[in-house]
Amino acid sequence: MAMRRKLIAGNWKMNGLRAGGIALAGDLAGKCKAEAPNCDFLVCPPAHLLISVAEAIAGSGVALGGQDCHTAASGAHTGDMSAEMLADAGCGFVILGHSERRADHGESSSLVRAKAAAAERAGLTAIVCVGETADEREAGKALEVIESQVRESLPETAPETAPEAAGASLVVAYEPVWAIGTGLTATPSDVAEVHAHIRKLLVELYGNDTGSAIRILYGGSVKPGNAAELMAVGDVDGALVGGASLKLDDFWAIGRSC
């Protein structure tokens, strides 16, 4: 079985002004330098903070990511940011297809797939989000919905892999929509079922070596009190954390639970 180092990714969403954001990132960087963590930490601040957060985390091992990108490298797209611009700002990752973007901006899986191709073109690792709504789960359609999102959102070509534990240049995040920001979390057995299904699809799509190297994160109200239980589930290779990533002690404690 592939060894996959856990990734603890903080999605700050549209939160944080300069002073607080830089201090939060700098404090996390300081902790990582003082005490090498057992996982990879990633912070995804809003766009206006990318360059100053890149400076605050330099040399600490904490990675930087964007929260979205356009499909084009440049051009007449007011208000958008390209994957190349994220890379230029110091990002190694970009979150794509978050349910808030699928809902607020009507992003389809085919658009998410095109954005994933743009991320690959710019040398970024895409974190592609999938997940069912409460109605879809209640109707017994969770796996079906997730499967079609995986099949339609992920890049057609296999991501690159390197021999290290964090080797694949693609990450999938399973985020049940009803668990995001609600305080509700999927049960470990539901998470295990979904992650095993996603793993099976990744192996089918990209072959055994690459499919086994891709990290699958769980997201949805992860906090210090439930992190250890969730991180112990098979095929859970880390967490995508919203609210708790804005509190240093909580985010650090989630990383320590790996």
Catalytic residues: 98, 175
Q: Which of 113, 223 has the CB closer to ligand PEP?
A: 223
Running DSSP on this structure, what letter comes out for residue 160? P
CA 108 to chain centre: 18
**Other CB atoms within 10 A of residue 148 CB:** 13
Please report, as residue ranges, which positions from 13 to 42 form the binding site for ligand PEP (by CB under 6 A).
13
Is 242 one of the annotated binding-site residues? yes
Site string for ligand PEP, 210-249 (x = CB under 6 A): ---------xxxx-----------------xxxxx-----
In the numeric block, the tokens 């797209």 are attached to 77
Q: Which of 181, 207 has the CB closer to ligand PEP?
A: 181
Q: Is 241 helix (H, G, I), strand (E, B) or coil?
A: strand
- 107 binds ligand PEP, rule: CB under 6 A: no
**Which residue's CB atom is positioned nearest to ligand PEP?**
242
Q: Which of 135, 139, 9, 132 is nearest to 66 (CA)?
A: 9
- 131 binds ligand PEP, rule: CB under 6 A: no
DSSP, residue by residue, 45-86: --GGGHHHHHHHHTTSS-EEEES--BSSSSSS-TT--BHHHH
Is 208 one of the annotated binding-site residues? no
Binding-site positions for substrate read 11-13, 181, 221, 242-243
Q: Residues marked as binding?
A: 11-13, 181, 221, 242-243
Q: Which residues bind ligand PEP (CB under 6 A)?
A: 11, 13, 175, 180-181, 219-222, 240-244
